[in-house]
Amino acid sequence: MDINTLKAFVVVAETNSFSLAGERIYLTQPAVSKRIAALEAELGVKLFDRMGKSTSLNEAGHRLLPRATNMLQEMEDIQRSISNLSGDVGGILTMGTSHHIGLHRLPSILRRFRQAHPNVQLDIRFLGSEAACHAVAQGKLELGIVTLPTDISPNLNIIQIWHDRLNLVVSHEHPLAHIPHPTLEELVKHPALLPGIGTYTRNILDQALAPQELKIDVAISTNYLETLKMMTGTGLGWSLLPEIMTDGSDLHVIHIPGLNLFRNLGAITHSSRTLSNAANAMLGFCSNQPNHS
């Protein structure tokens, strides 16, 4: 069974589209259709239901997908293992990271990495830390640079790199800015601007408030921290932001006695996959970065 044909099948299954699959693997739509037709002919069954422009896996396709995915991951693992023997740092490094880390942690790392390893093609996907962890666990990404989860999946390796202190912040005109040491009870009387429920950063705040059984009035929810910072500055409510975003800013930091919030940032890899030389090199550059508490 041809590896390239299996790749086409998996990507069509993920995108539910022959044209989108072609864009991802750099083939024309007819070329993708030809590969799928060849696979269906070899197996003697149809793998997709095609209704107009809509494409979806049928029962046979659903049964093939996990096995095809595992075969491709095993082949990639073999290729990386053999390629690593040469010691060369090259090829494609597919990694995921959040917009926040991409803006505040990675620019200098990526610049130095590119200077040291010009033969590596970086394929960087910007997505939430939760989605990046899931993609690494599924083998869709080789490496994630993310906010680390508190509940560690057994098939993920975790490497802590940065300790990220979190600050409660408001605009200087907000009523909370004029209270020297507000309590949590006073905090939750005001609307909040926070990341969505279930995100790693939101979980940290929810767990801190859980013993007091306090309910947060969330006025606006978005996972883009830069957007939260901007809206907080306009006086719409209070928010929780990394200290690296609030140092020297026009936001007022709220100090609540006994409340110290932080998160850990770092790298995640699949525990049973061989890392490429490029991924190991990237980890080395990240680990040598200074920490911002």
Work out the mean pLDDT of the chain and round it to a whole number: 90
Which residues are registered as beta bridge partners of 54? Answer: 51
Alpha carbon distance 168, 182 (integer Å): 11
Report whether 68 contacts 10 (CB < 8 A).
yes
Report whether 272 contacts 70 (CB < 8 A).
no
Alpha carbon distance 139, 160 (integer Å): 20
What residue ranges of the chain have pLDDT lower than 70?
1, 84, 248-249, 289-293
pLDDT of residue 292: 43
pLDDT of residue 291: 56
Residue 71, SS3 per DSSP: helix
Q: Are strands 143-147 and 91-97 parallel, antiparallel or unpaired?
A: parallel
pLDDT of residue 58: 94
Give 89-136 as a DSSP string: --EEEEEEE-HHHHHHTSHHHHHHHHHH-TTEEEEEEE--HHHHHHHH
Q: Which two tokens stand for residue 181?
A: 């040491």
Question: pLDDT tens digits, residue range 276-291?
Answer: 999 999 999 998 866 5
What angle, 0 to 180 degrees and rounded to 10, lies between the N-to-C axes of helices 277-287 and 107-116?
130
pLDDT of residue 290: 60
Rounded to the nearest 10°, the torsion over CA 130, 134, 137, 138 is -160
Question: pLDDT tens digits, residue range 26-73?
Answer: 899 999 999 999 999 999 999 999 877 788 999 999 999 999 988 888
Which residues are registered as beta bridge partners of 267? Answer: 145, 159
In order of their start, the domains of the chain are 3-83 (1.10.10.10), 90-293 (3.40.190.290)
pLDDT of residue 258: 86
Alpha carbon distance 77, 221 (integer Å): 39
